[in-house]
């Protein structure tokens, strides 16, 4: 736990500050509406739920202000580049942008639920006080004379006993925007579930853009001024401390007290979200303009297991290792963008991606490029954007773990290292790489074999055979494959991949692997990089904590996971 805090203290600090601000805003707003004389008469009708509704609304505004910032990818890439000289710990929060985005979204859901429930109580009390037949303060306040001689003032939005809560909800700006905004929020959250994102990405993509409706409804929600407080002028001549008990004499011209006057709170939600919305609009404009640049497809390669490789060029395109781009194919969909990790190295004169068939869109893309006699489909590219893999050269030892097509960011890293060795780059800090690739079928290894074979040969020629330690694991096989591999185990190269390193069957025993690495590098900082499923991330994170020394001068494992 101590090691984890040392490595993640900045992220923890950000989380604590965010939670602290939520608590502060809720308590501060709650006390304002619960204690302020301005809302004394409003509380006579609504009670404590007035303060609960306003406090949750304030926190809702605060989190709505934050929700867009973690998905401003150009901003994050700029910050990552600006902070390249900073320590890994200071850059760590940038790697958790989507996690923070989800946490803020959960907070919005919670405060929305609290806000809605509080207002359900409020409208029930508005309706009940309007229908009271006895003479009481709440009844008098609900039936304030609102003709001109009394300034047209009102406190209860339900003006008569015949007016229903449903009618007020769907005829007022606050009610209508509240319903529409809540529906948009529900659709966004439910479609963002892991299952939907993986199997119905298009549904997730389309519904997530309902945030435009949500933000618009939020900005307009307070215009109606349904929550009202006493005006300053009215408090001067009819202060509730002096006049609340003598409300029966408000009509008496000889009385010192008069009917109180009320005004709606000015809308404030738009003030919270204006700056981030402008920032996000600038972000999308930049991405739109960049996406208009022409992309030239220089080479198309169809690898086994239906893996499509596209090599491309684009004017002004500059990348770093491990970065990713968004790709759109207008002939398939005019709106859909999909993220792909770059598999090329910065030193190459092109950039490339590898696409595996994993859904309707990727199936359609592969089929479009498989058509021999059709023109090559047009591709639109946005990016590149930074990821945690950019930090790989900041460590003395790197452990790269890829699952299936998740090997793509490490293709870029290994290629870049190859080029650096060829050009005798003496500034290379990294001294050892442990590379693990886990696949379900043998065909998945094929497209990456050429790179690994080239790296093997290059390391031998440079006398750096021990620099790259790679292990390939096959998790799906039959008895024929296993038997064939066993019969040919004595051969110089692996029968499945053609590499000198033999393919292992099953999954890595991570405890053994980490123990071996910790023993071999007792005083090194080891960066563990994963592009794969969350279940594997959980296992690797545990091993990083378990095998990191309590002594900061000895071996330390730093876990890093790709997030898109």
**Integer Cα distance of 309 and 361 in angstroms:** 16
Is residue 473 helix, strand or coil?
Answer: strand
Mean predicted confidence (pLDDT) in 389-404: 83
**Integer Cα distance of 539 and 516 in angstroms:** 16
| HSE (side-chain half, CA atoms, 13 Å) at 470 | 25
Q: By the 8 A CB rule, do 419 and 347 touch?
A: yes
Residue with tokens 């984890």: 4
Report, in this order, helix, strand and coil percent for the chain, each rounded to 5.
55, 15, 30
Pairing status of strand 307-314 against strand 295-303: antiparallel
Assess whether the region 293-385 and the region 388-442+467-476+497-561 belong to the same CATH fold. Answer: no
Is residue 401 helix, strand or coil?
Answer: strand
**Integer Cα distance of 278 and 425 in angstroms:** 43
Q: What is the CATH topology of the domain spanning 388-442+467-476+497-561? A: Rossmann fold (3.40.50)
What is the length of the chain? 564
Q: What is the pLDDT of residues 147-205, one digit of tens each?
A: 444 555 788 888 777 778 888 888 888 899 999 999 999 999 999 888 887 777 778 88
Q: By the 8 A CB rule, do 531 and 406 touch?
A: yes
Per-residue confidence (pLDDT) for residue 404, from 0 to 100: 73
Within 8 A by CB and 6+ apart from 539, the residues are: 510
Report the share of the chain in percent with pLDDT over 70.
85
pLDDT interval class at 54 (50, 70, 90): very high
Structure tokens belonging to residue 478: 């039959």
**Integer Cα distance of 549 and 547 in angstroms:** 6
Q: What is the pLDDT of residues 459-489, one digit of tens each?
A: 777 677 777 787 888 776 655 555 555 555 5
Is residue 380 helix, strand or coil?
Answer: strand
End-to-end CA distance of the chain: 27
**Integer Cα distance of 453 and 461 in angstroms:** 13
Of these ranges, 108-117, 292-301, 336-345, 423-432, the one predicted with the greatest mean pLDDT is 108-117
Q: Burial, 4: exposed, middle or buried (Cβ in 10 Å; 0-12, 13-18, 19+)?
A: middle
Helix (H) or strand (E) holding 299: strand 295-303
* Whether pLDDT at 513 is above 60: yes
**Integer Cα distance of 466 and 455 in angstroms:** 12
Q: What is the CATH topology of the domain spanning 293-385? A: Elongation Factor Tu (Ef-tu); domain 3 (2.40.30)
* pTM of the predicted structure, to 2 decimals: 0.79
Domain boundaries, the chain: 2-172+224-284, 293-385, 388-442+467-476+497-561
Q: Burial, 309: exposed, middle or buried (Cβ in 10 Å; 0-12, 13-18, 19+)?
A: middle
Q: By the 8 A CB rule, do 91 and 299 touch?
A: no
Report the share of the chain in percent with pLDDT over 90.
22
């Amino acid at each position: 736990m101590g090691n984890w805090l040392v490595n993640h203290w900045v992220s923890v600090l950000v989380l604590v500050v965010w939670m602290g601000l939520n608590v502060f805003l809720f308590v501060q707003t709650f006390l304002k509406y619960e204690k302020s004389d301005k809302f004394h008469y409003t509380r006579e009708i609504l009670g404590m739920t007035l303060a609960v509704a306003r406090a949750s609304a304030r926190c809702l505004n605060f989190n709505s202000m934050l929700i867009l910032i973690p998905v401003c990818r150009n901003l994050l890439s700029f910050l990552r580049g600006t902070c390249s000289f900073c320590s890994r710990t200071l850059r760590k929060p940038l790697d958790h942008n989507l996690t923070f985005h989800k946490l803020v979204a959960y907070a919005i859901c919670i405060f929305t639920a609290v806000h809605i429930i509080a207002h359900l109580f409020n409208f029930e009390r508005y309706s009940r006080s309007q229908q009271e037949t006895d003479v009481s303060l709440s009844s008098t306040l609900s039936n304030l004379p609102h003709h001109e001689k009394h300034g047209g003032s009102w406190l209860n939005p339900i003006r008569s006993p015949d007016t229903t809560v449903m009618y007020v909800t769907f005829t007022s700006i606050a009610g209508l925007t509240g319903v529409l905004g809540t529906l948009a929020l529900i659709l966004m959250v439910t479609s963002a579930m892991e299952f939907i994102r993986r199997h119905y990405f298009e549904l997730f993509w389309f519904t997530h853009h309902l945030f435009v409706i949500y933000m618009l409804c939020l900005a307009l929600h307070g215009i109606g001024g349904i929550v009202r407080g006493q005006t300053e002028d009215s408090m001067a001549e009819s202060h509730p401390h002096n006049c609340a008990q003598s409300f029966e004499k408000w009509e008496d011209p000889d009385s010192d007290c008069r009917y109180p006057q009320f005004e709606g709170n000015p809308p404030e939600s738009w003030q919270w979200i204006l700056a981030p919305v402008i920032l996000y609009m600038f972000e999308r404009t930049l991405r739109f303009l960049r996406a208009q640049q022409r992309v030239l497809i220089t080479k198309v390669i169809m690898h086994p297991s239906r893996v499509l490789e596209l090599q491309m060029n684009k004017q002004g395109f500059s990348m770093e290792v491990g970065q990713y781009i968004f790709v759109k194919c207008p002939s398939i969909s005019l709106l859909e963008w999909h993220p792909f990790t770059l598999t090329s190295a910065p030193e190459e004169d092109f950039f490339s991606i590898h696409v595996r068939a994993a859904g309707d869109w990727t199936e359609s893309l592969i089929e479009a490029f498989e058509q021999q006699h059709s023109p090559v489909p047009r591709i639109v590219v946005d990016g590149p954007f930074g990821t945690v893999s950019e930090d790989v050269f900041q460590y003395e030892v790197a452990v790269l773990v890829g699952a299936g097509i998740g090997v793509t960011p490490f293709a870029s890293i290994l290629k870049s290292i190859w080029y650096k060795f060829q050009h005798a780059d003496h500034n290379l800090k990294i001294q050892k790489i442990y590379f693990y690739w886990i696949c379900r079928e043998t065909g998945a290894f094929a497209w990456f074999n050429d790179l690994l074979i080239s790296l093997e040969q290059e390391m031998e020629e440079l006398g750096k055979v021990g620099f790259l330690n790679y292990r390939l694991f096959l998790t799906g096989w039959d008895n024929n494959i296993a038997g064939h591999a066993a019969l040919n185990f004595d051969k110089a190269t692996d029968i499945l991949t053609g590499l000198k390193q033999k393919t292992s069957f099953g999954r890595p025993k991570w405890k053994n692997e980490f123990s071996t690495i910790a023993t071999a590098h007792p005083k090194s900082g080891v960066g563990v990089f994963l592009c794969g499923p969350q279940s594997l991330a959980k296992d690797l994170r545990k091993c990083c904590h378990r095998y990191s020394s309590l002594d900061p001068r000895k071996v330390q494992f730093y876990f890093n996971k790709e997030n898109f």
